[in-house]
Structure 1
């Protein structure tokens, strides 16, 4: 099926979008039929989040039961990973700066910051628990709370709540504007930091789950329920493409050096790479993955792709 482009008028849902029946999540994966491509790093537990740091060539995996981080040398997959205990399960891993990773732990209302070169850690208590953060204008930090609401933390520590959100799982910044992906409403919504309110909102299909921003300031969204890859522009705020991707697209990562969007398919246990440089996504790679591939990350220097299994099959490392 070919990709499709849509106008914006029928897609604007305004300040009061109609909720979908339930927030979408990953499809339940079947038992694997094919061996995963690439190498497998044992994790010993379900993987909840991944990050690949090019500065130190380190794969960082958050796992549950018990909650901890695994630091794996990407240049030596046979080496024993360094383990760091966490006060709770990490919902997301984010780069604070080169060589440093932050694990967001909503259950503990904290984040753990790790210097990947030294292995030193610092646990930081948060006044407001977060599952996702992004930097807005004038050093403000926008956060998605575990209950799906959205808040703004100013540089001086002042906290403001943005009304009208109840299902946000991801916040991103594109073109200097902050956007919230609301799974309950299956919409992408501007966050007006100056007015502390929702801005324009566009419907993102019937079951949007994850979002990333590319180097062109486009927001790429996986729509898991209907099986689509959606591409939004930030200026103007428009839905530009809806590309069919059967198989339950869920986890999403963007390779900015090669303009590849990597998507995991949770219904079929696959990893697919789409070239998104020229408009409509074009499939360039397809690999069998570990079972229940709920997380994916990219090493921006080498293009290495890592996929985490949420059923305990480990971490897949693919060199396309």
Structure 2
């Protein structure tokens, strides 16, 4: 794999390095130091070719997958399938049998899971679905607008609301705060423990969020097509750049781009193994998943496996290190033991 020089690895275009203090509401390129095109479009996963080799590991048959997550406390795998819209719950020690199937009012776009609960965003119906694990009991919570992602943050839930360009803080089932400013689209939210960051796919940027103050902070360009974001074990936010083919690492407080590493082949899905400090990146243009050790000054490739077709989503079991890859083309969910 080609590696960038030390200088280029940590450098980004000046337009991307500037933090924003203000921008136009109409998103005009001449007044916005982050936007570089007049009509921004969110990055999409590269279309996968027909697989050239068989997928590694085991493949669980299921319809097209839209999102995957795992929960350490309940030791469960949760998979959102598009049709019929639902979330399937599996025991990670008995993946051959579905433990529960939870119907949803429309397909889920994202899944997060922690502390015995999964949160599925259903933007098509303006709903956040909370699923208790491992039993699968469902509670739905209406959200004004299109909830793109919801994550637990202590006793609260942070929700990225795409069309309202906002991060909402839900506390006790009610909206405690609505945080806006500078966003074109709120597509993901990450709580690193050291800070909160929101992902804006339209601007291909990330912004810091001061939840306590209820304000949006500085923003930085995140490559040419920011796609997905997760927290690592070092208080950083990792982001895949689907257009340029790269893995980015941002520190928080303050928000600084620390690493930009080339990952050609359609980098898209992203998951993090906190026990082994591995970032798993799916390459939809190659039907592959790659594991990078991110403990050092730059990512180091440790694993590379062939996957099911259109591997848009990925999760990881921290306990065993197994990697779960979901096919958006309906070719199942893959289980790989590195």
- Shorter-chain TM-score above 0.5: yes
SS at match of 2:234: coil
1:105 maps onto 2:122 in alignment: yes
Are 2:67 and 2:109, in contact at CA under 8 Å, matched by a contact in 1? yes
Change (3 A) 1:192 1:282: same
TM-score, length basis structure 1: 0.91
Report which stretch shifted further, 212-221 or 103-112: 103-112
1:316 maps onto 2:334 in alignment: yes
Are 2:42 and 2:225, in contact at CA under 8 Å, matched by a contact in 1? yes
Pick the aligned partner of 2:319 from 301, 309, 320. Answer: 301
User: Deviation string for 1:93-143 (max 9, x for gaps)?
Assistant: 122x42221222122222222222333222333355421134669x66442
Give the structure 1 partner of residue 192 of structure 2: 174
Give the structure 2 partner of residue 230 of structure 1: 248
TM-score, length basis structure 2: 0.86
Are 2:247 and 2:261, in contact at CA under 8 Å, matched by a contact in 1? yes
For structure 1, which runs of at least 5 residues remain unmatched after alignment?
Answer: none
1:18 maps onto 2:35 in alignment: yes
Are 1:170 and 1:182, in contact at CA under 8 Å, matched by a contact in 2? yes
1:2 maps onto 2:19 in alignment: no
1:207 maps onto 2:225 in alignment: yes
Give the structure 2 partner of residue 288 of structure 1: 306
| Aligned residues between the structures | 317
Distance (Å, rounded) in 1 between the aligned partners of 2:221 and 2:121: 28
Map residues 1-320 of structure 1 onto 2, 5 A cutoff: 1-3=2-4, 4=6, 5-6=9-10, 10=14, 11-14=17-20, 15-16=22-23, 17-20=34-37, 21-43=40-62, 45-80=63-98, 82-95=100-113, 97-127=114-144, 129-134=146-151, 141-147=157-163, 149-153=165-169, 155=171, 157-174=175-192, 176-193=194-211, 196-320=214-338
Report the Cα offset of residue 246 of structure 1.
Answer: 0.5
Are 1:12 and 1:202, in contact at CA under 8 Å, matched by a contact in 2? yes
Distance (Å, rounded) in 2 between the aligned partners of 1:102 and 1:18: 31
User: Deviation string for 1:62-111 (max 9, x for gaps)?
Assistant: 1012101112232223324532211111111122x422212221222222
Distance (Å, rounded) in 2 between the aligned partners of 1:53 and 1:175: 18
Report which stretch shifted further, 300-309 or 140-149: 140-149
Distance (Å, rounded) in 1 between the aligned partners of 2:138 and 2:212: 35
